[in-house]
């Protein structure tokens, strides 16, 4: 893999500590997270049980404001204009 092909990778790497802190808080409530196929029905083939959970900040053309309030720094770091 050539990291030059993924310019956003260095942003994630540099901000790993804050992203991890926010993720750890989310994972304290893992059982409450939506199943991937509950968010996007098409994923049922790979997510028919409760092993694939989803916590989507931005996806499928939507912005998850409530989720963003839970992980504001991660949302700022990965906002679509920064990683596209």
Total structural domains within the chain: 1
Structural domain for 68, as ranges: 3-83
Angstrom distances, CA of residue 9 to CA of 5, 6, 43, 64, 67: 9, 6, 26, 23, 22
Residues of the chain with pLDDT under 70: 1, 44, 82-84
Tell me the whole-structure pTM to 2 decimals: 0.75
Q: In angstroms, how far is CA 23 from the centroid of its own chain?
A: 9
């Amino acid at each position: 893999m050539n990291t030059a092909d993924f310019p956003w990778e260095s942003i994630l790497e540099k901000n790993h500590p804050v992203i991890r802190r926010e993720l750890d808080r989310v994972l304290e409530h893992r059982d409450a997270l939506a199943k991937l196929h509950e968010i996007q029905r098409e994923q049922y083939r790979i997510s028919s049980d409760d092993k694939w959970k989803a916590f989507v900040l931005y996806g499928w053309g939507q912005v998850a404001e409530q989720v963003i309030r839970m992980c504001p720094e991660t949302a700022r770091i990965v906002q679509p204009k920064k990683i596209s």
